A = this chain, B = another copy of it.
Amino acid sequence: MSDAANSRPTLAGVAARAGVSASTASLVFSGAGPVADATRARVLEAAAALGYAGPDPTARSLRRGRTGVVGVVTEDRLGDAFRDPINLALLDGLGEELADEGFGLLVLPWAPDSAVELAAVPMDAAILLGCSADLASSVERLRRRRIPLVAIEAPPLGDVVPIELDNADATRRGAELLRALGHEQIALVTLPLDVARTRAPLTPQREAASTAFTASERIRGARAVFPDAGGVSAGGSTVSEGYAAGRALLDVPATERPTAVIAQSDLLAIGVIRAAEELGIDVPEELSVLGFDGIRLQGLTAHDLTTLVQPAVEKGRAAGRAVREALAGDLPAPVALTSELRRGATVARSPIE
């Protein structure tokens, strides 16, 4: 019949049918401003009759200047970003502070050649999750758009609120424990050094070229104690990568073998331990293994890992709070979180004396 029937109903249509102005109808839905009960009823009735589902979010966003969406930018592939339990914990924290407050989280996997142009995504703020400097130009455009940015464990970026972790210092403390136990032959198993995620021995060149902030910081902390430690970079924070790295490092003559491994994540550490077990190397008697994160893994027997426990949920909460503060017009203070060394059962005195 009327062509109002087949095109999506609008606020204007509802207002017309209710015999009020669009402004009044808007008041009914937004709840702001006083509306007589009778009027409200008439508007709602008209809305129901027309099948109006409420104000169009897009139009509302334009007018209000708010979308209710917060972007979470990661350089991982979609699924991989959440395969790391540390990110799940972080997500729990973000959920508390943002999702529970009505924000939607827009997950944006970013790659240099990605199809998503970050600056073209409708969002109120963005959280950069372990992002490298490769993002700089995208970040620049987001800043131009006056979008508040919060970066978790990222190199200092002007105007971006940092949520920092004591990666270097914590690793240093772990390394000092190993030194105190007499270890001198140390090998590092690091997180990926760049987006290419090449699994390969560490070299000064590769380290210098690293774009991965967290990995570099943790290397730095280890080097503060063991300046000459070698090692390998893994292709990801997974048990199997840790295992592969472990094989590479440990499947050598006993004299060339490290007496301790500093792994940059618990998953990597577990992989290394598995490799050691397979090679008949006893942990911790013949090999000490240090992890990082302090995760509890779905269904994994407690390894009682010696590790640096980071406040992952709090990291997410802090980021979420920072976003909310920024959106409220305040300037969020930078946050620096600290990790704690948990002495488990995977380190012991060096077998070499």
Residue positions of A touching B, CB distance < 8 A = 8, 51-62, 65, 67-69, 71, 77-79, 82-83, 85, 88-89, 91-92, 94-95, 99-102, 104-109, 115-117, 119-123, 141-142, 144-146, 238-240, 267, 270-271, 274, 297-300
For residue A145, which residue of chain B has the nearest CB? B53
For residue A120, which residue of chain B has the nearest CB? B57
Q: How many copies does the complex hold?
A: 2
Is the CB–CB distance between B109 and A106 below 8 Å?
A: no
Is the CB–CB distance between B95 and A88 below 8 Å?
A: no
Could you list 30 A-B pairs, sorted by A, with CB under 8 Å? A52-B144, A53-B144, A54-B117, A54-B119, A54-B120, A56-B62, A56-B145, A57-B121, A57-B123, A58-B58, A58-B65, A58-B122, A60-B120, A61-B62, A78-B91, A78-B92, A78-B99, A79-B89, A83-B88, A99-B115, A104-B121, A105-B107, A106-B107, A238-B299, A239-B299, A274-B299, A298-B298, A298-B300, A299-B300, A300-B300
For residue A274, which residue of chain B has the nearest CB? B299
Is the CB–CB distance between A88 and B79 below 8 Å?
A: yes
Chief secondary structure at chain A's binding surface: mixed
Q: What are the 8 closest A-B residue pairs judged by CB atoms, nearest first?
A: A239-B299, A78-B95, A102-B115, A53-B144, A79-B92, A82-B82, A57-B122, A79-B91
Q: In the assembly, what is the distance between CA of A62 and CA of B58, in Å? A: 5
Q: In the assembly, what is the distance between CA of A101 and CA of B8, in Å? A: 27
With a CB–CB cut-off of 8 A, which chain B residues contact A238? 298-299
